[in-house]
Amino acid sequence: MSGLLFPDDLLYSKTHEWVRVEKAAVGQNVATVGITAFAIDALKDLVHVELPAVGRRLQAGQEAGEIESVKAVSPIYSPVEGEVTAVNTELENRLEHLADDPYQEGWFFKVRITDPAGLNDLLHAAEYQKHCESESH
Amino acid sequence: MTYLSSTPSDQQEMLRTIGVRSVEELFEMIPEEIRLRRPLNLPAGMSELELTRHMGELAARNRPAGQDACFLGAGSYDHFIPAVVDFLASRSEFYTAYTPYQPEASQGSLQAFFEYQTLITQLTGMDVSNASLYDGASAVAEAVLMAMAATGRQGRVVTAANVHPEYRQTLATYLANLPTEILTLPTPEGVIRPEQAAAALNDQTACVVFQHPNFFGCLEEPEKLVQAAHAAGALAVVVFDPISLALLRRPGDYGADIAVAEGQCLGIPMSFGGPYLGVLACRESLVRRMPGRLVGQTTDRQGRRCWVLTLQTREQHIRREKATSNICTNQGLMALRASIYLALMGPAGLQEVAHLCVQKAHYALQQVSRTGRWQTVFDRPFFKEFVIRRPGVNLSDLLSAAAEQGIFAGVPLDRWYPELADALLVAVTEKRTLAEINRWADALE
């Protein structure tokens, strides 16, 4: 746990995705989604990622993709409801160094949010950190 | 493997260790009402002498293909098996290492599987092969599941009446509880018309499954079928005959996404119920959807070449309900036989086998057609099998009479195709001699 970074300007899901919400247009919010430093540290040796198709509609909590390490394949859940507008096609080549920059270059996909109220269910950095501490016991 | 017996005192000790009073207590969770409350209906035990005699009597009732002139095919073929295959495959190092549960401890087996994968990719022109599945039928079904997962489409699978009927049955069983519709194209002319396949594809179709050479022995137009599948965003799954690839273009060369086969023709004896060999190879982009075991070559920490199971994270013992397949095992010993056979024959040897099959099959058709009693059902180019028909004939009488003379003359098709009730599917391998083919043609007169 020590040394792992959880930026304050992001929201977090209990399933270890982070969300950065940005305004795209008036009344239009876009969420950038990735997985947290805690998840990357736990998965270790990442080898493959599968991302959702652009245009796919996702429910909050729905399985959107997969991340594969040498030991396991883990689902990636969408923390928000909306439509996928972009995916990080460079991600597959960055997996080895994902831990170096999980919150900028390490983004997974972007979603145009259709249910902004759903964001209230996500955690703030301090809450998420507590959640991780309880999981690592 | 050593046989470990357990004495009553061993059992007592095991029960004590886990804190259970009796063996019966281990089964307490099984409800009373579904328990069998009587002894199994089995005959009394036999002495070794009685058992040897009994098994000998049963075995003597077999009519092995090796003793007769076998013109039976339909998925299982009487190809020659060199003695080296039996000799090497029955070495105890291989014979006992069935499917290793601590795989990396069995480097010899892993190396053999790795060689098998290499040979299959060379034979098919595909990027990757797994270390085998059970048989051709389950390989077809697994390929379809792969295609459904890769395309995200579950609506439809297009196949044809000239794909092995038992493979299609297995596929239907696999898909029984899914919403998927299996659309089977009729093939009255023996082959699939590519435009007919194209018309059957929609945007919910996961794949087209075709067989080339097909169940009737005829050659399809594989490029066109692959193009039709791809044009609709579906994958192309081809069922091939491994021997035929010494002469025909390889699935990888005409753009197939997944290539599957029954590998029995590669050094495995014909037998009722197997064991046979499921061959499955695919494009590299599908490797993570591929079921079964995959062996990779690497180096250990001292830099020595070694082999490991790879991409296991999607297998059922790790991923449970999300696994690529519920089949977690392989046909290691049969894959080994196929590897020995392919390595022994080499490209030139395999080509010679294939040439002999083509030539002898065509000679056989010529011989049986000479009096005009038998007609070719499908006038198409064929490899080692063909369908002939004789209107009004009592096929079963004719086949029994031929069998009396030591000739298995062919497989009647009425079991799967009522419209072909008077037709016979005939396979001619490199093993058939000129004299045997002539005797066969005479027996059918």
d(CA B126, CA B250): 8
Rounded to a whole number of angstroms, the distance from the CA of A73 to the nearest CA of chain B is 6
Q: Is the pLDDT of residue B60 over 60?
A: yes
Position B156, amino acid: R
Alpha-carbon Rg for chain B, nearest whole angstrom, is: 24
- Return the beta strands (E) in B106-221 as ranges: 128-129, 156-160, 181-185, 205-212
Does residue B261 come out as left (phi exceeding 0), alpha (psi in the -120 to 50 range) or beta? beta
* In a shared domain, residues B297 and B362: no
Other Cβ atoms closer than 10 A to B275:
14
How near does any CA of chain B get to the CA of A16, in Å? Answer: 20
- Answer whether residue B55 shows pLDDT above 90: yes
Residue B305 lies in a domain: yes
Say which of A53, A69, A73 has its CB closest to residue B314: A73
In a domain, B352, yes or no: yes
Q: A70 and B314: CB-CB below 8 Å?
A: no
- Is the CB of residue B246 less than 8 Å from the CB of residue B106? no
**Which chain A residue's Cα is nearest to B314?**
A73
Which residue ranges make up each domain of chain A?
11-129
Q: How many CB pairs under 8 A join A and B?
A: 16
Nearest to B174 by CA among B139, B127, B135, B201: B139
What was the pLDDT predicted at B418? 95
- pLDDT in the model for residue B64: 83
Is residue B213 located within the same domain as residue B313? yes
Average pLDDT over chain B, rounded to whole? Answer: 93
Interface test with A, best of B313, B316, B318 (most A CBs within 10 A): B313
The answer to which of B80-84, B93-97, B293-297 has the lowest mean pLDDT is B93-97
Q: pTM (2 decimals)?
A: 0.86
With CA atoms as reference, the chain A residue closest to B310 would be A70
Whether B13 is in a domain gets the answer: no
Poorest-confidence range of B3-17, B111-125, B150-164?
Answer: B3-17
Query: How would DSSP label each residue in B267-335?
Result: T----TT----EEEEE-GGGGGG--S--EEEEE-TTS-EEEEE-SGGGSHHHHGGGSS-S-----HHHH
Q: Do residues B112 and B186 both lie within one domain?
A: yes
pLDDT of residue B37: 87
Partner residues linked to B317 by β-bridges? none
B313 vs A contacts (CB less than 8 Å): 68-73
Contact B381, B189 (CB under 8 A): no
Query: Helices then strands (H, E): number in chain B?
Result: 14, 15
Q: What is the percent of chain A where pLDDT is above 90?
A: 74
The arithmetic mean of pLDDT across residues B211-228, rounded, is 98
Minimal Cα–Cα distance from A67 to chain B, Å?
Answer: 11
CA distance B72 to B82: 20
Say what the pLDDT of residue B1 is. Answer: 47
What region, left, alpha or beta, does residue B329 occupy, with left being phi > 0 and alpha being psi -120 to 50 degrees?
beta
What gap in Å lies between CA A4 and CA B237, rounded to an integer? 47
| Domain assignment present for B59 | no
Q: Which residues of B touch A48 (CB under 8 A)?
A: 288
Residue of A nearest to B323 (CA): A73
Identify whether B111 is part of a domain: yes
pLDDT at A34: 96
Same domain, B74 and B154: no
Domain ranges, residue B388: 66-81+346-443
Residues B73 and B152 in one domain: no
Chain B residue with CA closest to A49: the answer is B288
B377: helix, strand or coil? coil
In a domain, B381, yes or no: yes
Chosen domain end from B290, B320, B340: B340
The verdict on a CB contact (< 8 Å) between A68 and B288 is: yes
Evaluate whether residue B29 is within a structural domain.
no
> What is the model's pLDDT at position B106?
85
Report how far residue B152's alpha carbon sits from residue B146's, in angstroms, rounded to the nearest whole number.
10
Residue type, A89: T
Determine contact, residues B373/B382, Cβ cutoff 8 Å: no
Q: Could B319 and A68 be called an inter-chain contact, meaning their C-beta atoms sit closer than 8 Å?
A: no
Q: Mean of the pLDDT values across residues B202-209? A: 97
Q: What is the pLDDT confidence band of residue A96, given thresholds at 50, 70 and 90?
A: confident
Q: Within an 8 Å CB–CB cutoff, is residue A54 touching chain B?
A: no
Rounded mean pLDDT, B404-420: 96
Separation CA B149–CA B39 (nearest Å):
46
The per-residue pLDDT of chain A, averaged, comes to 91
Tokens 């972009």 correspond to A86
> ipTM for the complex?
0.71
Which residues of chain B are within 8 Å of residue A68 when distances are taken between CB atoms? 288, 313
| Best mutation target, B285, B288, B312, B318, to test chain A (most A CBs within 10 A) | B288
Residue A24 confidence class, pLDDT cut points 50, 70, 90: confident
pLDDT of residue B422: 93
The residue that leads in pLDDT, B315 or B308, is B308
Q: What is the pLDDT of residues A74-88, one digit of tens each?
A: 999 999 999 999 999
Domain end position, chosen among B316, B340, B364: B340
- Does B313 sit within 8 Å of A68, measured CB to CB? yes
Q: What pLDDT score was predicted for residue A3?
A: 73
Q: Which residue in chain B has the smallest CA separation from A53? A: B152
- CA atoms in the 13 A half-sphere facing the CB of A133: 9
The residues pairing with A49 across neighbouring beta strands, listed in sequence order, are: A67
- The pLDDT value recorded for residue B62 is 87
Distance CA B392, CA B401 (A): 17
Q: Which of B340, B369, B389 is the last residue of a domain?
A: B340
Same domain, B102 and B210: yes
Confidence bin at B329 (pLDDT 50/70/90): low
What total of structural domains would you count in chain B? 2
- In percent, the amount of chain B with pLDDT more than 90 equals 82
Please say if the pLDDT value at position B316 is more than 70: no
Segment holding B268, helix H or strand E: none
Topology at the third CATH level for domain A11-129: OB fold (Dihydrolipoamide Acetyltransferase, E2P) (2.40.50)
For residue B319, the chain A residues in CB contact (below 8 A) are: 72-73
How confident is the model over B86-104, as pLDDT tens digits?
Answer: 999 999 888 765 556 677 8
Residue of chain B with shortest Cα separation from A48: B288
| Domain harbouring B191, CATH code | 3.40.640.10
Q: What is the CA radius of gyration of chain A?
A: 14
